Amino acid sequence: MKYITAFLLFWYDFIIGDDWRNAAATLIAIVLTVGALAAGLPAFWIFPVVIGLYLVSLLKTT
């Protein structure tokens, strides 16, 4: 049990880290890109824009 908890904690720390919004921004970019591709729209700009917006949101960090 101790090892499973440590294993899960390692991955939680690796993926979520100090700020869950890192993972959320990545997930949003993936979902939007999949949607745009399914609709036959150009999608290369979605990742840079979503990640860029996340970085800009750091300005609100105290």
Distance, in Å, from the CA atom of 35 to the CA atom of 27, rounded to the nearest integer, reads: 12
CB atoms under 10 Å from CB of 34, counted, come to 12
* Residue 52 in contact with other proteins, rule: CB under 8 A: yes
Which residue carries 């150009």 as its tokens?
42
**One-letter amino acid identity for 44?**
F
Among residues 25, 28, 39, 41, the one that binds other proteins under rule CB under 8 A: 25
* Residue 56 in contact with other proteins, rule: CB under 8 A: yes
Per CB under 8 A, residues contacting other proteins are 10, 14-15, 17-19, 22-23, 25-26, 29-30, 33-34, 37, 43-44, 46-48, 51-52, 54-56, 58-59, 61-62
